[in-house]
Structure 1
């Protein structure tokens, strides 16, 4: 859906190639090793990118600095969901208080990406005891919630559009700095417990490092224009994704912040032994 709009702005064909595996790093390696001529760009999940090298177990030496940021176009905030018939806790504050006395099993995508990071941050709340049950994706997390195999689940808000509409989940809180347009009735975690807890799946565009600045300017200007297209915004919104632009400088600053967060959360909650 993005490629056709980019073709209109740049006036050249855009070919999409999906490269999966390695928590995104097979694609990132391909992008990083491509010619720095502006002809190859890639969509990046910031958490997968940064966790994939801060984690010493991966043995990677490349970092986000081996790429050049173009734009981050969406911040898909994580939400905490429970079953609609849940009686032990009806608000996130009640869930948090419950976790001080009881182990809370929370489903989320396995590993150290966005969901794992949220669980780590939840456990940074004083006295909290959240245990991450890793899954292979949002649908599996929701299935475990429906089947009462877990107490709660953490997923991207874009993944809640259908189940929330069908009344299959109750969203207790969003890990955002303010209420989100997808559902302004959802309180933030800070509103509930007085502590700021922000986490999202950053959806961005990058090139390999070393692309000439004049070419980077063309790409950056083009993508800023693409994501201001109202029809594209509506299409993305229908999928639960609200366009929230970071220009390349803000995106770069965010990547540094995320790297710093992983260096704190990793040793505490993922058992990483950083040098």
Structure 2
């Protein structure tokens, strides 16, 4: 159920993605075109050999003008024509699921077709991501990409997955969800500095809970551990909900999570937030100092964006990107996101892919993969 580690490495910081948006560059895929063979005779008129060759050449040229290269799906003239599936690679109720359902509700209003959320959890998210990578690239199956958790499946040598970032067509980033450390309200720790001093006094004893090896929660702990030169006992759970339960039960001392995942408990006063790993104070916790304010150079978040499988037709990708941009930039959508503790941050096309690639490099370096 759980496992622990005490990995130390040089910290690599994840900053916010950029906000300029060059266009997507995409590819299409196959249709089957059948060509009826022309005969040499037309009624009783006999054709000379040059005539037959000329007519055959014309027929061939006309037929070839309709042939779509193998491996290519023709773009839909009126996309979308039916229901779209949005894969969430985690269980219901988490930060990814909540944001995805909010997005799907608004997206179907713009596209005029239902957008159905499907939770396909397991394998650290790769049950869902694997299904997305293998989907027909026609725009009717999309999915949430969570970075840096997404990279673990193909960077970590023990998993040996064949997919990579190139197995997908990143469309837009939707939200950033910054990392935060929290404790029970009866905890003796009242700041990040208190936690570090306790870990320094008793190495390999203080416990911090995260969701999964290679998750942003985990990388945030490793980064702080390396900078502070202390050793925590990091305990990995199958979900943040389970980690919170263990924290509230007194089995864990500190929780590393995303802001949206603890916002209800913080508002209810059942958890104390010690610090947020953001460039400035969180609008959701304005009274909580950042890690940098407390002397720790930490800026960590999970980015959650929308992608399709590799090979989306350019016009389908462009229409999806325009629709997603319309949703994400609307005031109504941003207000809904804010109520859930989510920070909307739109990045699209090549700029989004470049951001994902940079974070992949940083994850590989920090984890030693």
Closer, same or farther in 2 for the Cα pair 1:166/1:16, shift >3 Å?
closer
Structure 2: tracts of 5 or more residues without a match: 1-101
Residues of 2 paired with 1:105 and 1:255: CA distance?
Answer: 30
Instruction: Show the counterpart of 2:200.
Output: 100
Q: Does 1:91 align with 2:191?
A: yes
1:165-244 alignment, distance < 5 Å: 165-195=267-297, 197-244=298-345
Instruction: Show the counterpart of 2:243.
Output: 141
Return the offset for 1:224.
0.8
2:264 to 162, 165, 171: 162
**Which one has the largest radius of gyration?**
2
Residues of 1 paired with 2:184 and 2:105: CA distance?
Answer: 39
Return the offset for 1:151.
2.1
- Any idea what SS the aligned residue of 2:367 has? helix
Instruction: Show the counterpart of 2:143.
Output: 42
1:130 to 212, 232, 235: 232
Residues of 2 paired with 1:14 and 1:167: CA distance?
Answer: 36
Runs of 4+ in 1 over 6 A off after TM superposition: none
- Any idea what SS the aligned residue of 2:235 has? strand
Residues of 1 paired with 2:291 and 2:201: CA distance?
Answer: 19
Q: For structure 1, which segment, 166-175 or 4-13, has the greater mean C-alpha deviation from structure 2 after superposition?
A: 4-13
Instruction: Show the counterpart of 1:5.
Output: 106
Closer, same or farther in 2 for the Cα pair 1:14/1:144, shift >3 Å?
closer
1:245 to 346, 350, 354: 346
Residues of 1 paired with 2:341 and 2:121: CA distance?
Answer: 22
8 Å CA contact retained: 1:78, 1:174: yes
Residues of 1 paired with 2:296 and 2:197: CA distance?
Answer: 13
- Any idea what SS the aligned residue of 2:333 has? helix
Residues of 1 paired with 2:152 and 2:337: CA distance?
Answer: 26
Return the offset for 1:246.
2.1
Instruction: Show the counterpart of 1:69.
Output: 170
Return the offset for 1:10.
2.0
Structure 1: tracts of 5 or more residues without a match: 268-273
8 Å CA contact retained: 2:175, 2:304: yes
8 Å CA contact retained: 1:82, 1:152: yes
8 Å CA contact retained: 2:124, 2:212: no
Q: For structure 1, which segment, 199-208 or 119-128, has the greater mean C-alpha deviation from structure 2 after superposition?
A: 119-128
8 Å CA contact retained: 1:182, 1:242: no
Deviations 1:104-142 (A, max 9, x none): 211122322122212211211132222211223223222
Return the offset for 1:158.
0.6
Corresponding residue pairs, total: 266
Residues of 1 paired with 2:124 and 2:194: CA distance?
Answer: 34
- Any idea what SS the aligned residue of 1:191 has? coil
- Any idea what SS the aligned residue of 2:282 has? coil
Return the offset for 1:152.
1.0
Q: What is the TM-score with the length of structure 1 in the denominator?
A: 0.89
